[in-house]
Structure 1
Amino acid sequence: MRGLRRWWDDTAGGLPGTFWYLWSGLLINRAGAFALLFLSLYLTAARGAPPSLAGLVVGAYGLGGAAGTLLGGVLADRWGRRATLLAAHLVAAGLMAALAFTTHLAAIAVLATLVGVAHSMPSPAFVAAIVDVVPEARRSRAFNLQFWAFNLGMAVASLLAGVLAEASFAALFLVDAAATLAAAVVIALRVPETLARRPAPTPRAVAGRRPGLHTALTDRTFLVFVGLTFLLAVLTMQTSTIMPLAMREDGLRPSAYGLVVALGGALIVAGQLFVPRLIEPYRKSSVLAVSTGLMALGFGALTVADGLPLYLGAAVVWTVGQMLAAPPNAQINADLAPLELRARYQSVFYLTFPAASFVAPALGGLSLEHLGERHWLVVGALGLLAAAGHLLAGPRRERRVAALRGAVAVPVGSAR
C-alpha cells in the first residue's frame, strides 16, 4: 500500500486542481471524438467518394486546423485561455451537429474545414494553461497525464465508434457534438482564467524588439524541432486517415479497425503512467530517436499485413513508440517557449498536427492508390529520417533551453 502511494505521488502528486479540471475536459472531449476516426470511411462507404477524394476532404479538415491553431494561440495570449477554450468547444459542437445532417460532398468539405479550425483552437490554450498552473518540476508528469487522458478517451471512442459506424454514421457526429459540449460545461464551471495579464518581459522584449507570432516563426532551433514533430505527426495520422482505407482493401470490417485503435489506446492507458520513470535517466533527444524509430518499424511492417493479427502486432510496436515520445516532446516544446509567448509558441508547435492532417490523407490517399502496400515503406523511411534528425539536433536544443532558463533566472531589474 505504501509502495502504491509512493508510485502515485511520483506520477501525479502535487498537481493543482485546475490541471485536473483541464484534464477532465480533455478526457470527456476525446471519449466522444468518434467522427474523425471514421471520416474517410464515412466518405467512401456512405457517400461513394473514391479514396483520393476522401483523402482531400479529410485533408480539408487539416487545412482548417492550421488556421485554427495559429488563431487559437494568438487569442489565448491576448483574449485568455479560458475564453478561447469555451468559444472553440461551443463552435465545434455546433459544426459537428451540422455534419450529421449534411449529405453533399462539397458541403461536407466546407464543414470539415470549419471543424478543423474549431478543433485545433483549444490545443495551444490547453497546453499554455497547463504550463501556467503547473510548476516546472512537475510539468513532465502533467504532460504525461495529458497524453494518457487523450488516449484513454480515444480508446473509449474507438471501441464505441466501431459499433456505431456499422449502425449509423450520423450518430458518430451527434455523439461527438454532445461530448464537446460536455467538455465546454466542465471548463465553464471549474476552470478559471490562468493567463498572467502582465508577464515578465522576455530577453527579446527587453532588448527593444516587440515579440509576437513572428518570434516563434523565425526561431530556428524551435522550427527544427517543429519540423521533426511534423514528421512524427505524419506517422501518427496514418492510423486515422490511411490505415482504415488499407484495412478495408484487405477485407476487414470497421469494427476491426476500431479494435486496432482501441488496442493502442489500451496499451497507453495501461502503461503510460510508468513511462516518465523509465525514460528519466536518458537524454530527451535519444528517447525521441528511439521512439520515432519504433514508430517507423511499426508502420513499415504494414507492408506485409493482410489480416487482423498482423495489424494488431504492428500497432503494439508503434504505440510503444508514441508512449515514449509523448513526455519529452511536450516538455521540450514548453522549455523552448518564452514566458509571454507561451500560447503563440504552442500554436506554431501544434500547427504540425493539422498540417499533418492535410498532408497525410491528401498524399497518402494517392500513395495508397498508386503504390499499394509499398506506401508503408515510404512511411517507415520518414520515421527513420526523423529519428536521425533528433540525434543531430538534440545538443543545440539542449544549449538553447539552458540559455533560456539562465535568462529567466536573471532579475528583470538587472537585465535592464
Structure 2
Amino acid sequence: MGSIRHTLRETLTGLPGAYWWLWTSTLVNRLGGFVVGFLTLYLTLERGRSATYAGLVASLYGLGGAIGALAGGALADRVGRRRTMLWAQLCAAAATVALALVSGSVPMAVLAASLGAASGAPRPAAQAAMADLVDDEDRVRAFSLNYWAVNIGFAVSSAVAGLIATHGYVWLFLGDAGTTLLCALVVRLRVPETLPAATGSGSGERPGTERPAGVGIVLRDAKFMTLVGLTFLLGLVVQQGSTMLPVDMGRHGLTARDYGTVIALNGVLVVVLQIPLTRLTARRGQAVVLAVGTLLMGWGFGLTALAGSVLAYAGTVAVWTVGEILYAPASMSFVADLAPSHARGRYDGVHTVAWAAASFVGPVLGGSALDHWGSAATWGTCAVIGTLTAAGSRVLLGFRRPAGAATGGRV
C-alpha cells in the first residue's frame, strides 16, 4: 500500500496548478461525452433514418473534426489557446442542443459536421497549452495523465449514457451540452493564456513580436511530416479495433455482447495501468518508449489472426492496449518537442488530421482486406505496418531536434 502511495505521489506531484485545471476541464468534458457514441443509434432508432444515412452523418462528423482540428490549431497560435478552447466549447454546446431539436435530414447532417468541427477545434489548443505549461522533462508524464483523464471520462460516460438514453435521447444531448459548458467555465475561470506571443516568455521576444507560423511552415518540416505519415499508418491499424475486430469475432461465432466485453477491457486497462506504466517508463528514453508502444500496437492487432475465443481476443486487446498506453503520451510529447512554441497549435492540428484521415481510410481498407485476403493476411498486415512504423519512429527520434531547441524551453 505504501508503494502505491509513493508511486501516486511521484506521478501526480510537481506539475503546475494551471495544468491541473486544464486536466480537470478535459475530465469534465469527457465525462459528459454522451452523444458521439450513441449518434448512429439516435439517428436510426429515434429518428428512423437508415443505417446508410447514419453512417454518412458519422463520416461528416469525422470530416468536421479534421477541419476543426486544423482551424483550432491555427486559431490557438493566432488568438490564443484559452480563447480558442473557450469559444469552440461554447459552439459545441450550442450545436449539440440544436442537433437534438432539428428533424430534417440536411439540417441534422450539417449540424453533425458543425459539432465535429467545434469538438475537434479545442484539442490542438489544449495540447499546445499543456506543452506550454510544463517543463520538457515532465511532458510525457503530463500527457500521460491527460490521456488517463480522457479514458476515465470515456469509461464513465459510456456507462452512464446507456442509462440516460432509457429516459429519452434528448437528455443525452442536454447532458453533453451541459458538461461542455461546465468545461468552458473551468477554462474561463481557471486556465491562463499560455501563447508565447501573449506572454512574451516563449522566445525571449516582447509580447506580440513573433509572427504566428502558417500551415505551410508546418508542412515543410520534414521531420514532423514524417511523423504525421507514420501516425497515419499506425492509425490505419488502430481503426481496425472498432471496425474489423467485431466483424472478425462475428465470423468466429461470437456475439455483439462478446465484442462489448472484449473492447471494454481496453478502457479498463488504460485506467488501471496508465499511472504505473508512466512511472515505470519515466526514466526510459522517449525513442524506446515510442517504438515499443508502436510495436506492441501493431503486433497486438497482428495476434488477432490467431484468436478464436473471447479469452484469446481479450488477450490481443490487452497487448495493443499496453502499446497504446505507452505510445499516446510519448507521441504527443514528441509533437510538442518538434514544434516551435508559437506554432504548437498548428503542429497539433496537423497531427490530429493524420488520425482523422486514418478514420476515413482505415475501415474501407480493412473491410476490403478481410473480404479478399482473409483474416490471417489482414491481421498479419497490421503486424507488418506496426513493425515498419516502430522502426520509422525509432529512426526519426534518433535524429530529432533537442527538446526546447526551437521553443526556448518552458513558456
Q: Which moved more, 1:272-281 or 1:179-188?
A: 272-281
Q: Is the 8 A contact 1:199 1:340 kept in 2?
A: no
User: Match of 2:173?
Assistant: 173
CA contact (8 A) 2:234 2:389 kept: no
The residue that corresponds to 2:121 in the other structure is 121
| Equivalent-residue separation in structure 2 for 1:263 and 1:157 (angstroms) | 15
TM-score (norm. length: structure 1): 0.83
Match of 1:343 among 342, 345, 357: 345
Structure 1's 358 and 152: CA in aligned 2 closer, same or farther, altered over 3 A? same
SS of residue paired to 1:401: coil
Counterpart residue type for residue 130 of structure 1: M
Structure 1 residues 365-404: aligned runs within 5 Å:
367=368, 371=371, 374=374, 378=378, 381-382=381-382, 384-402=384-402
* 1:35-91 superposed Cα distances (whole Å, 9 cap, x missing partner): 2223345455554534x6544432222211111111111111111111111111111
Query: Partner of 1:350: helix, strand, or coil?
Result: helix
- Alignment match, 1:111: 111
Hey, what's the Cα distance between the residues in 1 that align with 2:140 and 2:166?
A: 39
Tell me which amino acid in the other structure corresponds to 1:38: F
| Aligned partners of 1:62 and 1:356 also within 8 Å | no
CA deviations 1:10-41 (Å, max 9, x no partner) are 21211111111111110111112122223345
* Equivalent in the alignment of 2:355: 353
- The structure-2 alpha-carbon separation of the partners of 1:86 and 1:209, relative to structure 1 and needing over 3 Å to count, comes to closer
What is the number of equivalent residue pairs in this alignment? 401
- The alpha-carbon deviation at position 281 of structure 1 amounts to 5.2
Deviation of the 1:348 alpha carbon: 1.2
Pair 35,264 (structure 1): closer, same or farther in 2 beyond 3 Å: same
Q: How much is the aligned-residue C-alpha RMSD, in angstroms?
A: 3.4
How far off its partner does 1:283 sit? Answer: 4.0
Q: Residue 207 of structure 2 corresponds to which residue in structure 1?
A: none
* 1:22–1:187 contact (8 Å) kept in structure 2: yes
Note if contact 1:268-1:319 (Cα within 8 Å) is conserved in structure 2: yes
Post-superposition Cα deviations, 1:383-412, rounded to whole Å, max 9, x if no partner, equal 53143233134234332323x6456669xx
Question: Distance in 1 between the 2:300 and 2:163 partners?
Answer: 26
Task: Give the drift of 1:231.
Answer: 2.6
CA distance in 2, matches of 1:164, 1:310: 33
Q: Does 1:38 align with 2:38?
A: yes
Provide Cα deviations, 1:235-291, integer angstroms capped at 9, x if missing partner.
3344455656777896745x6665444432121111100122333454434433332
* Alpha-carbon separation, structure 2, partners of 1:222 and 1:341: 12
**Which stretch shifts more, 352-361 or 370-379?**
370-379
Closer, same or farther in 2 for the Cα pair 1:242/1:132, shift >3 Å?
same
Q: 1:192 aligned to 2:170? A: no
Cα distance per residue 1:178-217 (max 9 Å; x no partner)? 2212211211221122222235559xxxxx9984221111
Separation of aligned partners in 2, 1:375 and 1:349: 30
Q: 1:151 maps to which residue?
A: 151
Distance across 2 between alignment mates of 1:91 and 1:314: 39
- Counterpart secondary structure, 2:401: helix
Aligned residue identity for 2:182: A
TM-fit CA distance, 1:116:
1.3
Q: TM-score, normalised by structure 2?
A: 0.84
Instruction: Give 1:310 shift.
Output: 5.1
Q: Which amino acid aligns with 1:296?
A: G
2:294/2:390 contact within 8 Å kept: no
1:288 maps to 2:290: yes
Q: Which residue is equivalent to 2:219? A: 217
Distance 1:81 1:281, change over 3 A: closer
On the 8 A contact 2:237/2:386 being kept in 1, the answer is no
Other-structure match for 2:323: 321
